[in-house]
């Protein structure tokens, strides 16, 4: 069996001022052809898919393109064209193919297409035709659209947050093995849910999100159900088909798929108020609570500046409060700011500089902050780190600044926002010595798990603010909950 493989992942924040270019993809690794097999076998959805297929079928993988770009603004037109051309020509050269696996994020906007996944799926279908099976995996924060459902024979989304990329690839492989080896005939029903909520209740380990995802797992345990996917769309996507969704794939039983999709959608709608609950507290209260905490590492989650949600990663809100309260114990703070890196390198290790840091990129929320800091170390460059489905990362040059007990790590390029300890360990910092760490994420603190004693959500301004009502929405379908007053889903 000859099976073509491609991946294309980016999460667009409609409110980010930072466009996504090929350089953005290259920060995480942009691979073509056999390089994909070498680089991705152990990580990400591609890795899970490859290992599952190896174990289940005598097959020939035909790897075409692998690109993942994290979260930021929309792709430039040239960037989507690059993927479109690679996929078209790669598939044409790979023909004949017996199937296609396409690993997608599912919430990527480009200048020429608000639904860039459908744009690419249409190209795939134009080359392979309608009869060749196409299985796709999605991030569960995808914005599922009619075009995507039409182009895909069987889909599956992540089942947990933190994201289970590898396992999702395994499930996609199993879906395809079912079709090619076992003769399953997937049929899909899906529902759009008029919901868009902030990310503070997005973890699947508890609360309403767990109850909703658990219902999908119960459905999958039933006979004839190939996958049941719950898709709470990432909340910064301002597009005409935006909103939560569900998709149920059965083995040839359309009416069962339809009724399960109804049940899954109704479950989310019935819990809509609980998905909107805010846990975050003011920066002043959060820093005070963090300082007072005893034992272990305290995470200050910078909800408004989540780099994996598309924020700029240069918010100074929490840093300003840490300085104001003169925190007494080691506190790690990440920042993306090329100008400060340049200035610190000019001063040199051991020198002191007074400069404005951060707040430069976000035209709505950005507030540069004046600091006086000692340059403690200079380093940076690409390093190997397995996270979120990629295996190395290049955040550019980095400097470590000391402001009292604060260790401010400033990176040249947009990056992982200090969300992995490796960015500090490269400077010889032992995380066990830190009392607090600011993470630029609202849910992905799993890489610090061994040290964490407490997580405090901080209500901060930024591109990933929890206050969705403050964002300038233009394209979302209306009405949508909770931006509009309560309404009946059936009337939407
Ligand atoms: Zn996601």
Centre of ligand 1 from the C-alpha of residue 135, in Å: 19
Give distance in angstroms: CA of 310 to centre of ligand 1: 11
pLDDT at 178: 98
Q: State in Å: Cα 138 to ligand 1 middle.
A: 9
What is the average pLDDT across 331-357? 97
> How far is the centre of ligand 1, averaged over its atoms, from the C-alpha of 350 (Å)?
40
> Which one, of 8, 191, 10, 29, lies nearest residue 101 by Cα?
8
Once rounded to an integer, what is the mean pLDDT over residues 104-113? Answer: 98
CA pair distance 266, 193, nearest whole angstrom? 8
For residue 9, is pLDDT > 60?
Answer: yes
Centroid of ligand 1 to alpha carbon of 234 (angstroms): 7
Does residue 116 register a pLDDT over 90? yes
- Give pLDDT, residue 490: 62
Above 70 in pLDDT, residue 388? Answer: no
φ/ψ of 297, rounded to 5, equals -95, 135
Average pLDDT over residues 363-380: 94
Region 259-275: mean pLDDT is: 97
pLDDT, position 96 = 98
Instruction: Tell whether the model's pLDDT for residue 385 goes beyond 80.
Output: no
- CA 32 to chain CA centroid, Å, is 22
- Segment among 9-23, 377-391, 461-475 with least mean pLDDT: 377-391
Contact 147, 115 (CB under 8 A): yes
Helix, strand or coil for residue 223? coil
Size of the chain, expressed as the number of residues it contains: 492
User: How far is Cα 347 from Cα 410, in angstroms, rounded to an integer?
Assistant: 14
Query: What SS3 state is found at 206?
Result: coil
| pLDDT tens-digit readout, 319-328 | 999 999 999 9
- How far apart are alpha carbons 364 and 353 in whole angstroms? 27
**Which tokens belong to 276?**
């909107």
Report residue 389's pLDDT band, with 50, 70 and 90 as the boundaries: low
Q: What is the pLDDT of residue 387?
A: 63
33-82: pLDDT as tens digits: 999 999 889 889 999 999 999 999 999 999 999 999 988 999 999 999 99
For residue 168, how far is its CA from the centre of ligand 1 (angstroms)? 12
Of 127-141, 198-212, 214-228, 385-399, the poorest mean pLDDT is in: 385-399
Half-sphere exposure (Cβ direction) of 294: Cα atoms closer than 13 Å: 0
Bridge partners, 3 (sequence order): 61, 99
Phi/psi-derived region of residue 312, left when phi > 0, alpha when psi is between -120 and 50, beta in every other case:
alpha
Cα–ligand 1 centroid distance for 472 (angstroms): 22
Residue 485 has pLDDT above 60, yes or no: yes
- Between the CA of 343 and the centroid of ligand 1 the distance, in Å, is 35
Rounded distance between C-alpha atoms, residue 165 and residue 170, angstroms = 9
From ligand 1's centre to the CA of 68, what distance in Å? Answer: 12
pLDDT at 17: 85
Ligand 1 centroid–CA 229 distance in Å is 13
Q: How far is the CA of 225 from the centre of ligand 1 (A)?
A: 24
| Ligand 1: centre distance to CA 141 (Å) | 5
435-483 pLDDT per residue, tens: 999 999 988 899 999 999 999 999 999 989 999 998 999 999 999 999 9
Give 137 Cα–ligand 1 centroid separation in angstroms.
12
The alpha carbon of 242 and the centre of ligand 1 are apart by a number of angstroms equal to 15
117: pLDDT strictly greater than 70: yes
Structure tokens at 304: 């408004």
pLDDT at position 220, please? 98
Range 82-109 burial, b when 16+ CB lie within 10 A, else e: bbbebbbebbeebeebbbbbbbbbbbbb
Structure tokens at 225: 């159900």
Answer yes or no: are the C-beta atoms of 358 and 304 closer than 8 Å. Answer: no
Q: What is the mean pLDDT of the chain?
A: 94
Task: Give the pLDDT confidence score for residue 487 in this predicted structure.
Answer: 75
Instruction: Report how far ligand 1's centroid is from the alpha carbon of 355 (Å).
Output: 35
Residue 193, sorted as left (phi over 0), alpha (psi -120 to 50) or beta, turns out to be beta
Does this model's pTM top 0.85? My answer is yes
Distance 182 CA to ligand 1 centre (A): 31
Please say if the pLDDT value at position 111 is more than 70. yes
Residue 413 confidence class, pLDDT cut points 50, 70, 90: confident
Q: Per-residue pLDDT for 491 more than 70?
A: no
* CA 140 to centroid of ligand 1, rounded, Å: 6
Q: Give me ligand 1 centre to Cα 104, in Å.
A: 11
> How far does the centroid of ligand 1 lie from the alpha carbon of residue 71, in Å?
9
CA of 245 to the centre of ligand 1 (A): 14
**Ligand 1 center to 196 CA (angstroms):** 14
Mean pLDDT in residue range 193-219: 96
pLDDT > 70: percent of the chain: 98
pLDDT higher than threshold 80 for residue 393: no
From the list 240, 224, 172, the residue with the least C-alpha distance to 475 is 240
Q: Which of 109-123, 230-244, 317-331, 370-384 has the lowest mean pLDDT?
A: 370-384
Pairing of strands 383-387, 406-411: unpaired
C-alpha 352 – ligand 1 centre gap (Å)? 40
Q: Is 380 helix (H, G, I), strand (E, B) or coil?
A: strand
Looking at residue 492, its pLDDT comes to 43
pLDDT at position 390 is 61
139 Cα: distance to centroid of ligand 1 (angstroms): 5
Q: What is the pLDDT of residue 309?
A: 86
Strand ranges inside 91-243, DSSP E: 99-104, 134-138, 154-157, 186-193, 225-231
Angle 207-220/254-270 helices, nearest 10 degrees? 170
Q: Which helix (H) or strand (E) holds 128?
A: helix 116-128
What is the reported pLDDT for 29? 82
CA of 235 to the centre of ligand 1 (A): 10
Conformational region of residue 163, where left means phi above 0, alpha means psi within -120 to 50, and beta covers everything else? beta
More confident residue, 49 or 418: 49
Report the pLDDT value the prediction gives residue 394, as an integer from 0 to 100.
80
Cα 396 from chain centroid (whole Å): 21
Q: What distance in angstroms lies between residue 163's CA and the mean position of ligand 1's atoms?
A: 7
Distance CA 112, CA 109 (A): 8
Domains (range + CATH), the chain: 2-275 (3.40.50.2300), 283-465 (no CATH)
Look at residue 325 and give its three-state secondary structure: coil
Distance of CA 345 from the midpoint of ligand 1 (Å): 35
């Amino acid at each position: 069996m000859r099976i073509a493989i491609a991946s294309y992942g980016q999460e667009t924040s409609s409110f980010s001022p930072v466009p996504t270019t090929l350089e953005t993809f290259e920060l995480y690794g942009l691979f073509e052809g056999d390089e994909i097999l070498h680089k991705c076998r152990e990580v990400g959805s591609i890795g899970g898919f490859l290992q599952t297929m190896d174990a289940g079928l005598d097959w020939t993988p035909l790897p075409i393109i692998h690109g993942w770009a994290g979260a930021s603004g929309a792709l430039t037109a040239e960037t989507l064209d690059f993927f479109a051309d690679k996929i078209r020509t790669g598939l044409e050269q790979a023909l004949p193919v017996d199937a296609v696996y396409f690993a997608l994020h599912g919430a990527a906007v480009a200048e020429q297409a608000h639904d860039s996944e459908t744009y690419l799926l249409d190209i795939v279908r134009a080359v392979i035709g309608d009869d060749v099976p196409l299985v796709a995996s999605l991030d569960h924060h995808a914005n599922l659209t009619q075009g995507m459902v039409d182009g895909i024979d069987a889909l599956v989304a992540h089942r947990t947050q933190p994201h289970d990329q590898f396992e999702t690839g395994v499930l996609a492989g199993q879906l395809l093995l079912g079709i090619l080896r076992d003769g399953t005939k997937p049929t899909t029903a899906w529902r759009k849910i008029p919901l868009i909520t902030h990310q503070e209740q997005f973890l699947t380990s508890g609360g309403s999100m767990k109850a909703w995802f658990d219902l999908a797992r119960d459905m999958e345990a039933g006979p004839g159900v190939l996958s049941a996917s719950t898709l709470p769309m990432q909340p910064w996507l301002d597009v005409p088909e935006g909103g939560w969704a569900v998709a149920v794939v059965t083995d040839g039983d359309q009416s069962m798929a339809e009724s399960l999709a109804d049940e899954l959608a109704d479950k989310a709608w019935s819990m809509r108020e609980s998905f909107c609950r805010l846990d975050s507290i003011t920066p002043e209260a959060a820093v005070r609570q963090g300082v007072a905490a005893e034992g272990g590492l305290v995470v200050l989650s910078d909800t408004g500046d989540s780099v994996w949600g598309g924020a700029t990663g240069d918010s100074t809100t929490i840093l300003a409060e840490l300085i104001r309260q003169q925190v007494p114990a080691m506190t790690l703070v990440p920042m993306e700011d090329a100008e400060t890196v340049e200035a610190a390198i000019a001063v040199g290790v051991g020198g002191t500089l007074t400069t404005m840091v951060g707040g430069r990129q976000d035209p709505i929320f950005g507030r540069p902050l004046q600091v006086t800091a000692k340059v403690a170390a200079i380093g940076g460059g690409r390093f190997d780190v397995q996270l979120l489905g990629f295996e190395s990362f290049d955040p550019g040059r980095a400097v470590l600044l000391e402001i009292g007990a604060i260790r401010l790590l400033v990176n040249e390029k947009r990056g992982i926002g200090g969300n992995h300890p490796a960015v500090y360990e490269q400077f010889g910092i032992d995380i066990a010595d830190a009392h607090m760490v600011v993470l630029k994420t609202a849910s992905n603190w799993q890489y610090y798990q061994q040290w964490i004693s407490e997580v405090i959500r901080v209500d901060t301004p930024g591109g990933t603010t929890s206050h969705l009502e403050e964002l300038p929405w233009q394209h979302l379908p209306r009405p949508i909950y909770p931006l509009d007053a309560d309404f009946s889903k059936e009337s939407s």
